[in-house]
């Protein structure tokens, strides 16, 4: 089987490449930066392709020999649609590492197209959203009539530059939750509460995490929120930001913020990836007030992504599941999280 990592020279793409090579695989590396992709490919003795997503025919030519692609080049709200379109045209399985709600919604809307093309479309095959998706599926199994689902995670790990850029781009849009089966736009820090994610009780606030989309596709639970820890001071700042978050749509401000992000380290170093574990928590409730909760400690999010993306790619190539759109838990089962638990 031939498969590709697109955006392989980015921070997370390189981690995925390194893990794949360590497992004895030989993916084809690809991206738009000829020098960067060549240097990485040469370092690992791999083949490579230089191709731009905007050039659909060239992209299809690059994919026509590929059985699968792991798409790692963000921002995914811009890059995922052309890659999915090319995969549908070339009958190439599509995986990515996004956490963006709009990308999950678009991928889900291509379910029938994927069935006709005979391919799997499964975005979110990393920390976004493997562990939280598996927790959601396990809670649904424990409480089949659940109508409310709350998920969250706590990590001390720094963000990569790509994650920071995506977060900055999304500030203008505010938050998002699911109500009555529909994704609803809400203010930043819309709801707050105290949660013990597994590392002691902390103040927490809602965020527009990918599970607002995917957990519904996995469980059918109609009301979903996702939380992360936040100090009272940060919560106040986020609430105040609702009054002027429209400023983040202005290109000069976004360019300035992106320059600041580019001056930061690419992401957590190896020591931090080994030490900064993540606590994942979930709670489901039914209409009678019954509830079930679950806490799991997993490896650092970037380490999990590097392994999860390759593991799921191999699952698709070797097991050949029925074509269509999937979430991670729907594709590989809710026990997938067991591979990534931390001690």
Domain containing residue 329: CATH number: 3.40.50.720
Asked if residue 193 and residue 275 are part of one domain, the reply reads: yes
Q: How many helices (H) and strands (E) does the chain have?
A: 14, 15
Judge whether 160 lies within some domain.
Answer: yes
Asked if residue 102 and residue 61 are part of one domain, the reply reads: yes
Pairwise CA distance, residues 164 & 167, whole Å: 5
Judge whether 338 lies within some domain.
Answer: no
Q: What is the predicted pLDDT for the residue at 152?
A: 97
pLDDT 10s digits, 106-165? 999 999 999 999 999 999 999 989 999 999 999 999 999 999 999 999 998 877 877 877
Pairwise CA distance, residues 219 & 7, whole Å: 31
pLDDT 10s digits, 164-202? 777 777 788 899 999 999 999 999 999 999 999 999 999
Asked if residue 77 and residue 30 are part of one domain, the reply reads: yes
Q: What is the predicted pLDDT for the residue at 312?
A: 98
Q: In what order do the strands lie in the sheet with 324-325?
A: 48-50, 28-31, 3-6, 68-71, 93-96, 120-122, 324-325
Asked if residue 176 and residue 38 are part of one domain, the reply reads: no
Asked if residue 329 and residue 289 are part of one domain, the reply reads: no
pLDDT confidence tier of residue 259, bands split at 50, 70 and 90: confident
Which residue range is the domain that position 325 belongs to? 3-127+303-333
- Name the domain count of the chain: 2
Task: Return the exposure string of 1-29: e unless at least 16 CB atoms fall within 10 Å of the residue's CB, then b.
Answer: eebbbbbbbbbbbbbbbbbbbeeebebbb
Asked if residue 204 and residue 262 are part of one domain, the reply reads: yes
Q: What is the predicted pLDDT for the residue at 260?
A: 86
Asked if residue 155 and residue 286 are part of one domain, the reply reads: yes
Asked if residue 71 and residue 178 are part of one domain, the reply reads: no
Pull the structure tokens for residue 291: 């509830």
CATH number of the domain encompassing residue 135:
3.30.360.10
pLDDT 10s digits, 225-246? 999 999 999 999 999 999 988 8
The residues near 292 (Cβ < 8 Å, ≥ 6 apart) are 139, 142, 143, 146, 283, 284
Asked if residue 287 and residue 145 are part of one domain, the reply reads: yes
Cis amide bond preceding 19, omega within 30: no
pLDDT 10s digits, 293-314? 999 999 999 999 999 999 999 9
Q: What is the predicted pLDDT for the residue at 162?
A: 79
């Amino acid at each position: 089987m031939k498969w590709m990592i697109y955006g392989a020279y980015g921070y997370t793409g390189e981690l995925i490449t390194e893990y794949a090579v360590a497992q004895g695989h030989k993916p084809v590396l690809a991206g738009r930066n000829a020098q960067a992709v060549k240097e990485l490919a040469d370092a690992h003795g791999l083949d490579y392709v230089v191709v731009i997503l905007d050039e659909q025919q060239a992209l299809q030519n690059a994919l026509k020999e590929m059985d699968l692609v792991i798409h790692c080049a963000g921002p995914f709200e811009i890059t995922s649609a052309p890659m999915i379109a090319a995969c549908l045209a070339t009958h190439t399985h599509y995986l990515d590492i996004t956490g963006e709600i709009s990308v999950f919604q678009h991928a889900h809307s291509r379910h029938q197209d994927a069935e006709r093309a005979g391919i799997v479309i499964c975005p979110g095959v990393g920390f976004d959203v493997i562990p939280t998706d598996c927790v959601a599926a396990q809670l649904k199994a424990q409480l089949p009539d659940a109508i409310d689902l709350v998920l969250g995670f706590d990590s001390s790990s720094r963000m990569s530059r790509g994650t920071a850029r995506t977060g900055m781009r999304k500030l203008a849009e505010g938050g998002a939750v699911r109500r009555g089966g529909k994704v609803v736009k809400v203010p930043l820090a819309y709801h707050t509460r105290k949660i013990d994610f597994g590392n002691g009780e902390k103040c927490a606030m809602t965020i527009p995490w990918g599970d607002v989309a995917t957990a519904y596709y996995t469980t059918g639970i109609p009301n979903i929120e996702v939380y992360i820890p936040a100090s009272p001071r940060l919560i106040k700042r986020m609430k105040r930001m609702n009054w002027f978050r429209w400023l983040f749509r202005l290109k000069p401000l976004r360019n300035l913020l992106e320059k600041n992000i580019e001056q930061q380290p690419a992401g957590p170093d190896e020591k931090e990836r080994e030490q900064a574990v993540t606590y994942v928590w979930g709670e489901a409730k039914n209409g009678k007030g019954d509830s079930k909760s679950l806490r799991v400690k997993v490896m650092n999010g970037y380490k999990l992504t590097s392994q999860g993306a390759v593991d799921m790619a191999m699952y698709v190539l070797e097991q050949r599941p029925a074509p269509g759109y999937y979430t991670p838990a729907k594709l590989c089962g809710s026990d997938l999280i067991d591979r990534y638990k931390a001690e």
